[in-house]
Amino acid sequence: MAGPATKDTSSLALGLAQVRILASAANIGSVNPVGVAGDSIGAITKSLFSAEMEVWRHMAGFPQIEDHNIPLSKKAVIEVDAEELSPANIALALGLDPADYTDVHSGAIALGALTSAVYLRSELVYTFPDTDYTMVPVFPRAQVTGSVSLDFQAADDVKNPMAIESKRADSEVSGGSAVWDNAPLGYIWFLDAS
């Protein structure tokens, strides 16, 4: 057989993940996923996880040929487009604590106050279509950044985009924990419930 053959069809991914938001401080000592379905932000139309590394590239010789990379920075981000326009989801997109907005249809969110985004715990729970096998990137100490941009359309639903960025959670930062010293931005867990 020519070309790449599938090694395990149960590892094929299709569909969206569930975004769960929890308190960071109350869960900072937990390395494993701790969120439940009730911690979900609800329906979404986009769930993107990325882990990026910026490197310095060394070149040598003539003509120069790249021979070594040195890591300069690392970051991890979850990008989502939430469909449910609740006060909690709008507050979350603005960097506020969604736990302060418990009513689905009422509340007031202040605009214009320049404050740092709160630290939250984010878990992106992806369940593979054929099994109970899940992949869960855990950000123990994250902040939501970006701008709220709600595009109201005549014949399409509104999406509330947000970027959830992992921040250092190790013992070197205030609010961190030594359990994250080997993984300061979090872990990607693969879990088999069967």
Where along the chain do its domains lie? 14-53+64-192
Question: Closest by alpha carbon to 190, among 133, 140, 138, 143?
Answer: 133
Stretches where the chain sits below pLDDT 50 are: none
Give me the pLDDT at residue 114, please: 83
- Amino acid 1: pLDDT: 62
- Count Cβ neighbours within 10 Å for each residue of 124-141 and write b for 16 or more, e otherwise: bbbbbeeeebbbbbbbbb
Contact (CB, 8 A) for 35 and 123: yes
CATH number among 1.10.10, 2.30.110, 2.60.40, 1.20.58, domain 14-53+64-192? 2.30.110
Give me the pLDDT at residue 123, please. 98
pTM of the model: 0.92
The label of the residue with tokens 């013992």 reads 171
Give one word for 187, left, alpha or beta, with left for phi > 0 and alpha for psi -120 to 50: beta
pLDDT score recorded for residue 113 = 83
Beta strands at 187-192 and 160-166: parallel, antiparallel or unpaired: unpaired
Using DSSP's 3-state secondary structure scheme, residue 121 falls into: strand
State the chain's mean pLDDT as an integer: 94
